[in-house]
Chain A
Amino acid sequence: VTNWFLNRLDPALAGDLLEERQRRSALWFWRQMLHGMLAAAGSNARRRSRDVCATVAGWALQFWAAVTILKLHLAPSSHGLLWRLGACAAVLLAAGVYGLVLGLLRGFCKYAATQAWRTTLSIAANAFFVNLLVCLSFVLLAEFSFTGLLLAEVYWLSSDLIRVLLARDPRSMC
């Protein structure tokens, strides 16, 4: 656990924390670790503001699509084969749009800096497949409630933002 946290920090800062750990308490160490992560996140939010905006924009679009699908799913209409096919098509479309938006906003703005088109493609593909799986689970689980959806979405947004804000190398964000 300690290593996972230390690896999220600047290597020099992580080294300093380990050096000081010998003469300080465990409470001091973890307080400093938390502080270091918050400071790194603050500084990354400033430097990677485009990535943060892209993540939130992609998430908002995907959230809107997911809520729309859930509303369709909860409608008193039949849950027959045709409905399921339609829902799956909608899910594919939402996942495609999400992947495209994330790919365009996050991947291509990074492409300008890294000139790595493979990174851009992998970001878009990753967003597409993860979103596809989550949305399909909404459709397949008939009992999925709005609260469940909201919790999943909040978790997803937080994990995306944490990835953006705490990744040391911007090319490894996805």
Chain B
Amino acid sequence: MARRGYLGEFELMVLLAVLRLGDDAYGVPIGREIEQRCGREAALGSVYAALERLEEKGFVTATLGESTAQRGGRAKRYFRITPPGLRAVRDTQRALTKLWTGVPQLQGGRA
């Protein structure tokens, strides 16, 4: 697989959370989405580190939002997936599905 299309497990989770959240994708909801859907705690620091890597790869873009007193006057940073990002998610899904199919140990839904 081309290097540009490669996504780590957590990066894929973050990208999918950004996709699901649409216009409301910033740190807190992204972390919550991963927690609720995957049942694992996502540290906000890790979420931001992953988003930074994804931004460097050109898979997401960031825009600054409003700042509130509740946030100590600090602005929210909203993330949006880019076409290459979407392509990377699709590539990863395709690759994982190919690996998934035909593995006898994974048939029948039992460990």
Contact = CB atoms under 8 A, between A and B. Distances in A.
Contacts of B70: 18-19, 22
A35 B49 CA distance: 11
Given A36-B48, A43-B49, A16 B43 contact: no
A152 interface: no
Interface in B40-62: 43-46, 48-49, 52-53
Contact of B75 (A12, A32, A37, A40): A12
B28 A19 contact: yes
Nearest to A6: B72
B75 A15 contact: yes
Interface majority SS (helix, strand, loop, mixed), chain B: helix
B71 A16 contact: yes
Interface in A10-38: 10-20, 22, 31-32, 35-38
B45 A32 contact: yes
Interface residues of A, number: 24
A15 B67 contact: yes
B27 interface: yes
Given A20-B28, A43-B52, A15 B76 contact: yes
Interface of B: 26-28, 31, 43-46, 48-49, 52-53, 64, 67-68, 70-72, 74-77
Interface of A: 6, 9-20, 22, 31-32, 35-40, 42-43
